[in-house]
Amino acid sequence: MAQMFYDDDADLSVIQGRKVAVIGYGSQGHAHALNLRDSGVDVRVGLREGSKSREKAEAEGLRVVSVADAVKESDVVMILAPDQVQRKVYADEIAPNLQKGNALFFAHGFNIRFGYIKAPEGVDVVMVAPKGPGHLVRREYVDGRGVPVLVAVEVDASGKAWDLGRAYAKGIGGLRAGGIETTFTEETETDLFGEQTVLCGGTSQLVQYGFEVLTEAGYQPEIAYFEVLHELKLIVDLMVEGGIAKQRWSISDTAEYGDYVSGPRVIDPSVKDNMKAVLSDIQDGTFAKRFIADQDAGAPEFNALREKGAQHPIEVTGKKLRGLMSWIQDNDADYVEGSA
Ligand code: NAD
Ligand code: MG
Ligand code: MG
Ligand code: MG
Ligand code: MG
Ligand code: MG
């Protein structure tokens, strides 16, 4: 059984006694900085010169300084810049200002697992990875709840890295929902696998194919949209509440029988083999190399794929329909439709 822990298993004063730098103010950055601040932790936000996020952070009452200054004046540094820029920010502005006794924190193990960042001796390397989008990490905290977190220690130079990691996890509200002990390797490989095969990649492709098959057969795109995209949330909510079994309990017997006989026809054993191939590319670093090489070249492949995805007919139909559904609220003021 995985090692789990909750609010009572962590001492908030451990992180309240440190100075924390949150580097980046995006999805995770704003949530960590604001939740820690509201938990009584001494936080500053480190941003690059001219960052568009500066105003937003300052409007929330946070102090914003350069990345180098944030690291200099802190002893805990949480890196929440995008994974593909972390190694440059680290080399240029973080590493020169790190000291023995400091702790380097991550919300995803990518750069440590694939060797893009190597922390100096005497520095704790810790991960607190919320298992949910940053905007939920903030929203849940404000509502008195939390998003579950994974906690890992790669280097325990101080001998107290676990206490510090648990305290940080409590500070962002994660231990209200629960923390699970893991390793950088396990978190990185399973996170990449989950998002590529099931949560993001698998689901996006499944929904697009479903929409294509229905509309190519002459059905109305609006009907197709409801059947293969909109209702997905209702089904997933049931799964989260009570597993696949609760979902099957709630649907009609017709739907449940169709689930058993047609699900395995669509997602056949070859899909499992494909998943294994994806996992192997993650484990041996092939995916990381491809992602970073493309990013270093200015992200031509990434941008082309993003553009192509945004032009899929389901997006056009969806945009029109969501405009008519007053009960669907977009709570994220920063989100611009059509941007990934
Ligand atoms: P993001 O793209 O939303 O935000 C990144 C932030 O970094 C932006 O505010 C940007 O201004 C800043 N930034 C960019 N370049 C910078 C630079 N050179 N110097 C300083 N700051 C810079 O990123 P994110 O999705 O929050 O991801 C941050 C980390 O959290 C990643 O390691 C990611 O894997 C992890 N993570 C993200 C989520 C999520 O919900 N998005 C969930 C779990 C873990
Ligand atoms: Mg994930
Ligand atoms: Mg991820
Ligand atoms: Mg239906
Ligand atoms: Mg039923
Ligand atoms: Mg994004």
pTM of the model: 0.93
- Helix locations, 90-155, DSSP H: 110-113, 134-142
Q: What is the pLDDT of residue 327?
A: 66
How many other CB atoms sit within 10 Å of the CB of residue 155?
A: 18
Nearest CA to ligand 1 atom 12: 24
Write down all domains in the chain, each with its CATH number in brackets. Answer: 4-182 (3.40.50.720), 194-324 (1.10.1040.10)
Strands 4-5 and 179-181: antiparallel
How many other CB atoms sit within 10 Å of the CB of residue 262?
A: 10
Low-confidence ranges of the chain (pLDDT < 50): none
Closest of 142, 136, 143, 128 to residue 179, by C-alpha: 128
d(CA 233, CA 59): 33
Mutate to test the pocket of ligand 1, among 27, 65, 105, 192 (most ligand atoms within 8 A of CB): 27
For residue 159, how far is its CA from the centre of ligand 4 (angstroms)? 55
Q: At what angle do helices 269-283 and 184-193 cross, to 10 degrees?
A: 140
Q: What is the pLDDT of residue 324?
A: 84
Q: What is the pLDDT of residue 326?
A: 67
Mutate to test the pocket of ligand 1, among 69, 80, 292 (most ligand atoms within 8 A of CB): 80
Strands 103-106 and 64-66: unpaired
The ipTM estimated for the assembled molecules is 0.95
Selected catalytic residue, list 32, 108, 135, 312: 108
For residue 133, how far is its CA from the centre of ligand 2 (angstroms)? 8
Query: What values do phi and psi take at 181, rounded to 5?
Result: -75, 135
Residues with CB under 6 A from ligand 1: 23-29, 47-48, 51, 53, 67, 80-83, 85, 89, 107-108, 129-130, 133-134
d(CA 294, CA 329): 35
Based on the residue annotation, tell me whether 30 is a catalytic residue of this protein: no
